Chains A and B, each alone.
Chain A
Amino acid sequence: MEINMTFLGQMISFAILVWFTTKFIWPQLNGAIEERQKKVAEGLAAAERARAELKDADAKVAVEIKQARLQATEIIDKAQQQANQLLEKARAEATGEINRLKAQAQDEIASMAQRAREQLREQVGALAVRGAEKIVQREIDPAAHRALLDQLAAEI
């Protein structure tokens, strides 16, 4: 255990070592470590943010889907209503048309029957006149007996 000048040498070595570490080793490595720490922290923060955003988006999507569904139901209801209305209207129109046509046809039928009756009456009058002519021959002047013949025709 003797102290000799070796320790001076060791002090110098130590000084060099500390200088080298301070100058060339510590700053670079510590810089890298700190930068990485920052990056990792930023990455974690970004992930957290993204997660929150995703949650927000999910909520928004849910609301939107609900709204869309509501709207769709509304549209369907309205369409159904409209269809019903149209159907109703068409039915009413069709019924009206049918009734009108029916009335028209009945009118026509009635007038045609009237006309036929009149014709028939005239023809029967004429036939009666002709029959009477045949019976009484010249005795009856159609012109003179016109009023009588018309009366007869009306009575038939």
Chain B
Amino acid sequence: MASEPQGGLTEYIQHHLGHLTVNFSTDHGAFWNLRIDSLVVSFVLGAAFCLWFWLYARKATSGVPSKGQALVELAIEFVDTQVKDTFHGDRRTVTPLALSIFMWVFFMNAMDLLPVDLAGWLVHTFAGAEVAEHTHFRAVPTADINTTVGLSLAVILIVIGHGIKAKGGFGYGKEMLTAPFHAESLWAKAILLIPNLLLNVVETLSKPVSLAMRLFGNMYGGELVFMLIAGLMVSWIGFVPGVVFNTAWAIFHILIIALQAFIFMMLTIVYIATAREHH
């Protein structure tokens, strides 16, 4: 922190909110930016989850489980119970989806507990202050709107896929036009066509938006608070309260991390369950 430029807290935070970005096509706008930090961290965490669970899945025994297997099974049974309670149908693809979401989001959220300056300090130590000045690194992929949007769009595609699979392409399209407002006569149906379609489009679109924004908002906000608290520790006066607040916020954040992962998973299951329902 001492190496931060004289801009003070504002610049410190602004610096920390920057992403490690690669731009593939500068003249075509910001869309072609690729946030390497989000991608790499999330990919590594996803791979870690896969490796961890796979190692136990490979030698899973139905006899007395090892402690590691018991832990893995605990997570799986927790997720499976949630799915079983909400979704009544073939769980063979739904539970793995829910498990992936839960564990991945949980892992990514948990990056929030890493010290905000850890990455900066590493770069500073190994590459020098000059590089650190221009390098940005954010360790929490879920505090990047792109991660949450990507996740929620994938989820909504799966949800729509479930809807089409359960009702058929025609049935799904018909439901878009005839629900939630039902009518008996033909012309009443024709009148309700437009409102129904509008409502369904809004409903479908609101799902990924709410999923993405909720997770992003929580994690971004949490990260910001960590940065503000870190700003406290710049001076010796603020150091002790800084440590206290940091600890308190981190402990509270453990709850947020698990809760947000759980909510994301739960809502996905609920969306799939409702998509499979006939109206």
Contact = CB atoms under 8 A, between A and B. Distances in A.
A137 interface: no
A5 B32 contact: yes
Nearest to B58: A28
Interface string A44-56: 0000000000000
B113 interface: no
B227 to A, nearest CB: 16
Interface string B138-182: 000100111101110110000000000000000000000000000
Contacts of A9: 34, 39, 150
B147 A7 contact: yes
B218 interface: no
A30 B80 contact: yes
A30 B100 CA distance: 14
Nearest to A6: B146
Contacts of A35: 62
A109 interface: no
A28 B77 CA distance: 13
Contacts of B228: none
5 contacts: A3-B149, A4-B32, A29-B69, A33-B73, A36-B65
What are the 3 closest A-B residue pairs judged by CB atoms, nearest first?
Answer: A10-B150, A35-B62, A6-B146
Contacts of A15: 154
Q: Chain A: interface residue count, which band? A: 20 to 34
A14 B35 CA distance: 16
A17 B98 CA distance: 11
Contacts of B38: 6, 10
B9 interface: no
Contact of A25 (B57, B80, B145, B146): B57
A68 to B, nearest CB: 45
Interface residues of B, number: 48
Interface in A12-29: 13-18, 20-22, 24-29
A21 B93 CA distance: 9
Interface of B: 24, 30-35, 38-39, 42-43, 46, 49-50, 53-54, 56-58, 60-63, 65, 69, 72-73, 76-77, 80, 92-93, 95-97, 99-100, 104, 141, 144-147, 149-151, 153-154
Contacts of B42: 10, 13
Given A21-B96, A24-B54, A30-B80, A13 B60 contact: no
Contact of B39 (A3, A13, A28): A13
Given A25-B99, A39-B62, A30 B149 contact: no
B93 A4 contact: no
Given A3-B149, A6-B144, A10-B150, A30 B33 contact: no
Contacts of A36: 62-63, 65
A32 interface: yes
Given A15-B154, A28-B58, A7 B146 contact: yes
A144 interface: no
Contact of B97 (A6, A11, A22, A27): A22
A14 B264 CA distance: 14
A33 B77 contact: yes
B54 A14 contact: no
A25 B53 contact: yes
